[in-house]
């Protein structure tokens, strides 16, 4: 249900990497990701998105739950009347959307599942609760969506991250769950990055995954880090081997795909 609502929101409001003026119907605000997630869940179920005020160019970063957004003040006023039936304190805020921000791609800054994190969780930081975006080459961007799933008994206390590939024209591909995704590399329509997969003693181990820019997975290299492309169909990374003495040894390897 939530996915359908977000898709509808994106279709109604085209994605842009350029500055644009829109009007936000704000239902609640809070300085913390936990606080806004709780207010969103109480007030709006799974409708709308969370917006960071910095995505509108504000110097002070505050989270706002936005059940609706509009491309004109007239539409905003009409939407505000509808929202006020259930959220009396809702108001309209004009926003100059910052290019290449989460809001420019209509991505929520905080997932509603963050409200479900038990208060007894000890290893969750605020950074684990907020979705981020980073640029790649050729106008592509990576969105790392962070959310809660499962329970505190699993090794990650329910922390989850999903990698989403977003193009300038609104093309988007949800790639895969990945712990601590990083070291993104691109070349000739291909994307590679590393995911944390295990721990051996004091050392953290990774896998490298390779995708096309169309969202198709073409290769996975076990226990490797720091990917880079060499040639049209070749990936280089550093293989990871932890010896009996607990020392990590890295060696560059080449894999074709």
Inside any domain, residue 113: no
Residues listed for the chain: 257
- Domain extent at residue 23: 2-97
Give every CB contact of residue 63 below 8 A, 6+ residues apart in sequence.
29, 30, 31, 32, 33, 35, 36, 50, 51, 52, 53, 109, 110
Inside any domain, residue 103: no
Inside any domain, residue 81: yes
What is the strand order of the sheet 172-177 is part of? 132-135, 141-148, 159-166, 172-177
Tracing tokens 């193009």 back to the chain, one arrives at 167
Whether 187 and 87 share a structural domain: no
Whether 248 and 137 share a structural domain: yes
Inside any domain, residue 209: yes
Contact 100, 135 (CB under 8 A): yes
Residue 5, pLDDT score: 42
Inside any domain, residue 111: no
* Helix ranges (DSSP H) in 1-72: 2-12, 33-44
Whether 161 and 212 share a structural domain: yes
Contact 52, 72 (CB under 8 A): no
HSE on the CB side for 257, CA within 13 Å?
25
Total domains in the chain come to: 2
Inside any domain, residue 8: yes
Whether 66 and 141 share a structural domain: no
Contact 146, 161 (CB under 8 A): yes
How far is Cα 220 from Cα 232, in angstroms, rounded to an integer?
17
Measure Cα distances from 215 to 153, 179, 204 in Å: 32, 18, 27
Whether 82 and 194 share a structural domain: no
Whether 18 and 63 share a structural domain: yes
Whether 170 and 76 share a structural domain: no
| Ranges of the chain with pLDDT below 50 | 1-14, 17
Give every CB contact of residue 209 below 8 A, 6+ residues apart in sequence.
175, 176, 178, 192, 193, 194, 195, 217, 219, 220, 221
How far is Cα 206 from Cα 213, in angstroms, rounded to an integer?
22
Residue 12, pLDDT score: 41
Whether 128 and 41 share a structural domain: no
HSE on the CB side for 118, CA within 13 Å?
11
Whether 87 and 122 share a structural domain: no
What is the strand order of the sheet 28-30 is part of? 28-30, 63-66, 49-52
Whether 228 and 141 share a structural domain: yes
């Amino acid at each position: 249900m939530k996915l359908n609502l977000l898709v509808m929101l994106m279709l109604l409001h085209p994605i842009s990497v350029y500055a644009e003026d829109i009007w936000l119907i704000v239902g609640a605000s809070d300085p913390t990701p936990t606080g806004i997630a709780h207010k969103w869940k109480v007030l709006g179920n799974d409708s709308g998105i969370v917006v960071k005020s910095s995505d509108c160019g504000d110097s002070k970063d505050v989270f706002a739950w936005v059940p609706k957004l509009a491309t004109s003040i007239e539409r905003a006023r009409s939407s505000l009347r509808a929202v006020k039936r259930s959220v009396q304190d809702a108001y309209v805020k004009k926003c100059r959307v910052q290019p290449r921000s989460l809001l420019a791609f209509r991505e929520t800054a905080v997932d509603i599942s963050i409200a479900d994190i038990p208060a007894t969780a000890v290893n969750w930081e605020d950074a684990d609760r907020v979705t981020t975006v980073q640029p790649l080459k050729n106008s592509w961007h990576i969105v790392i969506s962070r959310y809660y799933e499962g329970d505190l008994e699993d090794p990650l206390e329910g922390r989850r991250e999903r990698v989403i590939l977003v193009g300038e024209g609104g093309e988007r591909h949800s790639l895969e769950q990945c712990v601590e995704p990083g070291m993104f590399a691109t070349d000739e329509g291909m994307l590679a990055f590393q995911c944390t997969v295990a721990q051996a003693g004091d050392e953290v181990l990774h896998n490298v995954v390779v995708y096309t820019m169309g969202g198709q997975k073409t290769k996975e290299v076990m226990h490797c880090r720091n990917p880079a492309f060499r040639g049209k169909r070749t990936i280089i990374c550093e293989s990871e081997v932890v010896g009996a003495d607990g020392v990590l040894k890295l060696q560059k390897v080449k894999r074709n795909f």
